[in-house]
Amino acid sequence: MLTVITALAPLALAIQLPIQSGSVDFYDPNLNGGSMLNNAGGGLGEPLNVIISGKSSPEVLTNDGIVNYARAIGLSYIISSEECLGIHLGDPQSANLGDGHGWVNQTIELREDYGNEELGTCLESIIGGNHFRVYRQDGPSAMSGALFLAVSREQDVEENHTIVPDGYNIGRDQLVGHAIGKHDFDGVHYKTVAKNITGLLPPGSVGVNHGIATDGLTTLLTVQTTR
């Protein structure tokens, strides 16, 4: 039965059908030619500092599912990847999760919505705030279904959306702080537990975008849903 589920999982993800919860939290990208830094350009990357476990409820691991979950914890989907009230939101970034797909652009990007799903992400673009990019580990070499998030806190538009000092650690901790515990949105109830992991990301600033050092921690979130 597990072999059948594994074979059907890529199709299920492609058409946004929930797949059965995985048997693993995630696979370490570093062990199969991947990286825990994405590609932000110029040979530098942003840390994939939060992982939503493949053992989470299957519906959370779909595109619609992560958007609904994000809204439950205070972030919303950017409808246009290019403009928001005439403000450029930045280019997509790619990541290699060691799953056999190589370098793949982000699946989706979400920004702090300040309590307004429609205009809040535009406000974040103006005044700054938390945001994250989503990458799914679903290739033939590492079919976990886990979502790897590059989380950071940005400065305002006058600072060209650069990351605030210590912004990778701050962004991660803010997102995790909002996520843990119980939340709900659009009739879906979430319960999230968190665990910090060392050894996936080296501490420091080597290879990190903007030269901003990180503490080397990655937080694993396991999200379960009820209706």
Q: Which long-range contacts (CB under 8 A, 24 or more apart) does 155-161 make?
A: 155/128, 156/126, 156/127, 156/128, 157/87, 157/125, 157/126, 157/127, 157/128, 159/128, 161/89, 161/90, 161/125, 161/128
Confidence of residue 167 (pLDDT cuts 50, 70, 90): very high
| H or E stretch at 138 | strand 129-139
Q: Specify the pTM.
A: 0.82
The domain limits of the chain are 24-226
- What type of residue sits at position 138? D
CA distance 103 to 87: 27
Is the CB of residue 144 less than 8 Å from the CB of residue 26?
Answer: yes
* Per-residue pLDDT at 109: 85
* Share of residues in the chain with pLDDT > 70 (%): 73
* For residues 18-47, average pLDDT: 88
* For residues 202-219, average pLDDT: 96
- Look at strands 218-226 and 50-52 and give their pairing: parallel
* For residues 183-207, average pLDDT: 97
- Look at strands 129-139 and 142-154 and give their pairing: antiparallel
pLDDT per position as a tens digit, 47-102? 999 999 999 999 999 999 999 999 899 876 554 444 455 454 557 899 999 999 99
Q: Which residue has the higher pLDDT, 178 or 124?
A: 178
Q: Is the four-CA dihedral 135, 22, 70, 178 of positive or negative sign?
A: negative
* Per-residue pLDDT at 78: 54
**In the predicted model, is pLDDT for residue 175 greater than 80?**
yes
* Per-residue pLDDT at 53: 98
Is the CB of residue 171 less than 8 Å from the CB of residue 130?
Answer: yes
Confidence of residue 8 (pLDDT cuts 50, 70, 90): very low
- Average per-residue pLDDT for the chain: 82
**In the predicted model, is pLDDT for residue 162 greater than 80?**
no
